[in-house]
């Protein structure tokens, strides 16, 4: 019976080690994704500023006599 208990304990130790490795791997992936999301958010904010700047610059260049047809 001791062999059976030792085998079960050994199996549980192996499972624990595998789960710990999986949790650490997933944690690292989540941390990397969080950094990437932060970088993407900064890029989006920069693009918004650039777009607003372009809109402000373009509004003065538009010919006031030009109007889009009603179907646009």
For 19-65, what is each residue's pLDDT tens digit? 999 999 999 999 999 999 999 999 999 999 999 998 888 765 556 56
How many CB atoms sit inside 10 A of residue 55's CB? 9
Q: And the tokens for 20?
A: 């710990």
Give me the pLDDT at residue 69, please.
Answer: 74
pLDDT value, residue 57: 81
- CA atoms of 14 and 10, how far apart (whole Å): 6
What integer pLDDT is reported at residue 60 of this predicted model?
A: 57
For residues 43 and 40, give the distance between their C-alpha atoms in angstroms, rounded to a whole number. 5
pLDDT score of 44: 98
Mean pLDDT (whole number) for 9-24: 97
Distance CA 3, CA 10 (A): 10
């Amino acid at each position: 019976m001791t062999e059976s208990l030792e085998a079960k304990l050994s199996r549980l130790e192996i499972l624990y080690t595998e789960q710990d490795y999986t949790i650490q791997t997933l944690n690292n992936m989540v941390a990397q994704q969080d950094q990437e999301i932060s970088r993407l958010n900064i890029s989006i904010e920069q693009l918004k500023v650039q777009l607003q700047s372009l809109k402000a610059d373009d509004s003065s260049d538009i010919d006031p006599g030009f109007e889009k047809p009603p179907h646009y």
